[in-house]
């Protein structure tokens, strides 16, 4: 279903099996099927061009799976934009993604706990 955007499954499996590599689109597509959730992938409009539009998209489980929740993630980088560009030949590149939490989710958490989680948590 998503192979035209993410490449062949054989290439993806070989890439996933390498130590110290980052997750890419194929892992997100697989994750929405494993978790049976819609995953909203938010890609920042930094150095954005038309071919990157697939990264700023909602991915849904393949039928017959039905999504039972929604997750939003933001592609990010540990470095600030200027340092990231310096290390990547002048372009910005993400090296991880973080979950995005809605304000209502934060309020629900506050009502059940004394500690407030950060709005964005990096894994």
Instruction: Report the pLDDT value the prediction gives residue 19, as an integer from 0 to 100.
Output: 73
The pLDDT value given to residue 2: 59
Tell me, what DSSP letter sits at residue 65?
-
Count of domains in the chain?
A: 1
Q: Residue 67 domain-assigned? A: yes
CB 77 within 8 A of CB 94: yes
The pLDDT-based confidence of 123 (bands split at 50, 70, 90) is very low
Cis peptide upstream of residue 95 (ω within 30 degrees of 0): no
Residue 44 counted as domain residue: yes
Residue 121 lies in a domain: no
* CA distance linking residue 93 with residue 77, whole number of Å: 7
pLDDT at 25 over 70: yes
Q: Is the pLDDT of residue 8 over 80?
A: no
Distance CA 92, CA 85 (A): 5
pLDDT for 121 equals: 44
Q: At what angle do helices 25-35 and 9-16 cross, to 10 degrees?
A: 90
73 falls within a domain: yes
Is the pLDDT reported for residue 72 higher than 90?
A: yes
Task: Note if the bond before 64 is cis, omega within 30 degrees.
Answer: yes
Phi, psi (deg, nearest 5) at residue 14: -60, -40
Determine, yes or no, domain membership for 92. yes
Check residues 110 and 41 and name the one with the higher pLDDT: 41
The residue length of the chain stands at 123
Under the banding of pLDDT at 50, 70 and 90, the label for residue 38 is very high
Q: Give residue 27's domain range.
A: 3-112
Which residues lie below 8 Å from residue 72, measured CB to CB, with a gap of 6+? 39, 40, 42, 99, 100
């Amino acid at each position: 279903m998503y192979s035209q955007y993410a490449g062949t499954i054989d290439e993806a499996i070989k890439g996933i099996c390498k130590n110290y590599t980052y997750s890419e689109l194929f892992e997100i597509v697989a994750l929405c099927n494993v978790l049976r959730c819609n995953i909203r992938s938010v890609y920042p409009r930094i150095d954005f061009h038309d071919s990157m539009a697939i990264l700023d998209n909602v991915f849904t489980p393949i039928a017959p799976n039905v999504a039972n929740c929604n997750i939003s993630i933001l592609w990010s980088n540990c470095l600030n934009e200027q340092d990231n560009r310096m290390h990547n030949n002048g372009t910005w590149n993400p090296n991880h993604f973080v979950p995005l939490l809605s304000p209502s989710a934060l309020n629900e958490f506050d009502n059940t706990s004394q500690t407030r989680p950060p709005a964005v948590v990096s894994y």
